[in-house]
Amino acid sequence: MPVKTVRTPESYVAVQFTPIIREPYRRSRAVVGVQRPSMGFEDEKAKLHRRIAELEKDLKRANWKLIVAQEELDDVSEELEEVKDELEDVNDELDDANHQLQKVTTKLGKMTLKSNRLALDKILLEKENDMLFAERDIFVSWQINCLVV
């Protein structure tokens, strides 16, 4: 198929294919496609340099964002270390308070046990005292009975 190229004002090349006419009633021409003209080597080189410059600028932006993010991460890490230290201090204080509470609980248990023993001793002494009084009363009444008889 013969190809005919036509230059348009927009610097595009319109490619027209002229069909080989085999039948007399088919005499139409069809525009198949529009292509950009091939750029020269200098244009390609300039385009690549612009693209490289854009990519370098994007890389610098990404590096800057990475540096800022790293600094923020370092700040957060420092804050976490401070919070960790504070939590360890609080944990130590809680351990001390727990130890003191155990001491107080042990003392309280001992005092309660001692108090219960004293109360039991008091009850036993009262019972013993009551028994002694009862024995004395019985003895006295026996002596009185003996004297009366």
Q: Is the pLDDT of residue 6 over 80?
A: no
Distances (CA, A) of 96 to 46, 56, 108, 109: 74, 59, 18, 20
Q: What confidence score (pLDDT) does residue 1 get? A: 46
Two tokens, residue 105: 């609980």
pLDDT (mean) for 102-106: 94
Residue keyed to tokens 């026996």: 142
Q: Which of 28-37, 40-49, 104-113 has the lowest mean pLDDT?
A: 28-37
Distances (CA, A) of 9 to 6, 18, 102: 10, 22, 98
pLDDT band at 3 (very low <50, low <70, confident <90, very high): low
Average pLDDT of the chain, as a whole number: 80
pLDDT band at 16 (very low <50, low <70, confident <90, very high): low
28 or 80: whose pLDDT is higher? 80
* All structural domains of the chain with their residue ranges: 1-38, 39-137
